[in-house]
Amino acid sequence: MAKLKINEYHKKGKIEPEVYGHFSEHLGRCIYEGIYVGEDSDIPNVNGMRVDVVEALKELKVPVLRWPGGCFADEYHWKDGIGPKENRKKIINTHWGGVVEDNSFGTHEFMELCRQLGCKTYVNGNLGSGTVQEMSEWVEYMTFDGVSPMAELRKQNGREEPWKVDFFGVGNENWGCGGNMTPEHYANEYRRYQTYVRDYSIKPEEDDEDSDDKKKKKKKDEEEKKSIRKVCCGANVDDYHWTKGVLKTAFDHTEKKFHGFMDYLSLHYYVHPEGWEIKGSATKFDDKVWYKTLKKALKMDKLIQRHSAIMDQYDPKKKIGLCVDEWGAWYKNEPGTNPGFLYQQNTVRDALIAGITLNIFNKHCDRVKIAALAQMVNVLQAVLLTEGDQMIKTPTYHVMHMYRHHQGAQLLESSASDVETVGIGKWQVPKITESVSLGEDGMITVTLNNLSIESEETVEIALADKGYQVKEARIVTADDMHAMNTFDQPETVTEKDFSDYQTGEEGITLTMPKNSVIELRLAK
C-alpha cells in the first residue's frame, strides 16, 4: 500500500498556467483541416476557425498557444501570410510532407484563433533563414500603436489596433533544423536579433537626472509591465553542452547578468519508445514497450534537474524560466497516411505519458514556467483528431482537462512512500506518481498515476489537518492498455466519475485501477 503525505501549509511556488500550453505548427493537418477550414467551408466555423475544435479547446482553458513552428518557423516569412488571401504567396512546405502552403493562415488568423480561445500568444520568429529587419518589422506590425510603415500596413490589412504578443521565440531548434549552429554562434545571433524585438509598451525614460534608486525602480517597474517575453533557443533532450554554451555566451560576465534580454530558455524532449529512427507504433505494443515508454517519459524529471543546475550557475535567483515548448510522444505515422504529416493515434499509454509529464512540471514549478504539448490537433500527441466534419477527443485531452485545476495554483509539499517498482527487465518505473496543488478557490487538487498494467494500487492520503472530504473525483482509464477513441467509437476512453475511495479519521484511502490517471478535489 502506497502512502501520500500532503502538507497543505507548505506552499512551494506557483504553477504557472502557461505550463499547460499547446503548440500548433504548419504541419500536416494541424492547422489546415484541424483548426482552420476557411470562411467558406461547410464545416461550421467562425472566421474560418472550426467551432467544434475551438469549443473543445476552450474547455481545457488553453493558457497559451505557440505558432507557427517548430522547424517551419525558421523558413516562415511573415509577409507571405498577410493581405488578401488570393494574393498571398504559395510555397512548398519542405519540412513537412512537401505539400503546398498557401499561407491562408497567417498572423491575422493566428491572432483571431487566440482571441476565440481566450489565450496568450507565443509567436516564434525566423532566425534561421530570416533577417533582423524581418523579425523587427514583424514585431512592429503586430504590436506598435503609432505611426510607422508596419503599423500602417497592418491597418491597410484591416486591423486598426495592435495585438498583444505575450511571448516571442527568437529562433527554433537552431542546433538542428533552425540552422545547424553551434551554441556560441547561436547565442551571439540571439543577442543581436533580440535587440530588435522591441517592446513598444515600454516608453523611453524622459528624465536623465533621476537618482540611481529611482532609475532602478523604473527598470523594475518596466520589467513587471513589459509585454513581450523573449524565449531563447535551448537544448534538444540532454545536450547540456548547448545549454552551457548558450548561457555562457549570452551572459554578461562583467556585470554578471543577462541584462533582461532573456526571459526563458527552451527545452525539447519527445518520447520515442523504440528510439528516434524506429519510434514504434502508436497502437501496437507489448508489455515491455509500455514500460519502456513510461520510463522514457519519466526522463523528463532528470532533464529538468540537470538543465536547471546549469541555469542555476548563471541565474541562481531563477529569473529565467525553463520553457519546455515541445513535449509528448512521437511514434510512427498511422499506416496509409503521409509520413510527413506525423498523424498518430492516441491510447491509454498516452494518457499516462501526459499525467506523468504534467506531474513532473508541477513539481518543478520553481523553474518550469511554460510548456507546450506537441501538437494541438492531428499531429503527434494531439488532444483532438478530426476527419472531415467529425472530431474526437483523445485520452490525452481528458487528462489535460482534469489537470486544468492545477493552472495558477500553489504547489503543495507532498511525498509518496512505500511505492512499489513495476516493469520488465531494465524498464522499471515507480508504480505511482503524483502532484498536489492548492487553488485560489481553496480546493486541493491531487493528481495520481498508476503506471502498472498488471495490478491496482491502494493509496492512503494523509494531510497535515484532518477533516478533508472528497468534493470531486475523476478518472481516465480502460482495462485494455491499447484502448483508444476512434471516429466509430469516440467514447472508449473518457473522463469519468471515480468512487472507489473512503474517507476516515486519518485521511482518504483510494484504490487505483491499473493504468489509470486520477484526480481528487479536496476541501474541508
Contact at 8 Å (CB) between 445 and 409? yes
Strand locations in 95-241, DSSP E?
100-101, 120-125, 167-170, 229-236
- Cα angle 367, 368, 370 (rounded to 5 degrees) comes to 140
- The residue-averaged pLDDT of 105-115 equals 98
Q: How confident is the model at residue 82 (pLDDT cuts 50, 70, 90)?
A: very high
CB within 8 A of 486, min separation 6: which ones? Answer: 392, 492
Residue 287 pLDDT > 90, yes or no? yes
Q: Which residues are catalytic?
A: 173, 326
Return the pLDDT at 233: 98
Residue 520 pLDDT > 90, yes or no? yes
Phi, psi of 117 (to 5 degrees): -80, -20
Residue 384 pLDDT > 80, yes or no? yes
Cα dihedral angle (456, 457, 461, 467), rounded to 10 degrees?
40
Return the pLDDT at 207: 53
Mean predicted lDDT score pLDDT of the chain:
95
Return the pLDDT at 114: 98
Pairing of strands 264-271, 321-329: parallel
| pTM, two decimal places | 0.95
Between 39-53, 66-80, 245-259, 456-470, the lowest mean confidence (pLDDT) is in 245-259
Phi, psi of 405 (to 5 degrees): -70, -15
Residue 253 pLDDT > 70, yes or no? no
Q: How confident is the model at residue 201 (pLDDT cuts 50, 70, 90)?
A: confident
C-beta atoms surrounding 389 within 10 Å: 12
CB within 8 A of 424, min separation 6: which ones? Answer: 287, 288, 291
CB within 8 A of 171, min separation 6: which ones? Answer: 73, 74, 124, 125, 126, 127, 128, 178, 179, 186, 189, 190, 193, 233
Return the pLDDT at 133: 98
Please report how the helices 183-195 and 132-143 are oriented relative to each other, as an axis angle in degrees rounded to 10: 40
Q: Could you tell me what percent of the chain has a pLDDT over 70?
A: 94
Phi, psi of 496 (to 5 degrees): -130, 165
Cα–Cα distance for residue pair 210/195, rounded to 1 Å: 25
Return the pLDDT at 227: 86
Between 253-257, 263-267, 366-370, the lowest mean confidence (pLDDT) is in 253-257
Cα–Cα distance for residue pair 331/282, rounded to 1 Å: 5
Residue 259 pLDDT > 60, yes or no? no
Residue 288 pLDDT > 70, yes or no? yes
C-alpha cell recorded at residue 135: 523579425
Return the pLDDT at 338: 95
- Output the 3-class SS for 331-361: CCCCCCCCHHHCCCCCEHHHHHHHHHHHHHH
Residue 258 pLDDT > 70, yes or no? no
Cα–Cα distance for residue pair 253/271, rounded to 1 Å: 36
400-451 residue pLDDT tens: 999 999 999 999 999 999 999 999 999 999 999 999 999 999 999 999 999 9
Residue 217 pLDDT > 90, yes or no? no
Cα–Cα distance for residue pair 174/126, rounded to 1 Å: 10
Pairing of strands 64-67, 495-497: unpaired
Q: How confident is the model at residue 506 (pLDDT cuts 50, 70, 90)?
A: confident
C-beta atoms surrounding 377 within 10 Å: 25
Q: How confident is the model at residue 211 (pLDDT cuts 50, 70, 90)?
A: low
Q: Give the Å distances, CA to CA, from 343 to 156, 244, 337, 339.
A: 38, 34, 7, 8
Please report how the helices 287-314 and 240-250 are oriented relative to each other, as an axis angle in degrees rounded to 10: 20
N-terminal to C-terminal alpha carbon distance within the chain: 25
Q: Which helix (H) or strand (E) holds 192?
A: helix 183-195
166-176 residue pLDDT tens: 999 999 999 99
- The residue-averaged pLDDT of 14-30 equals 98
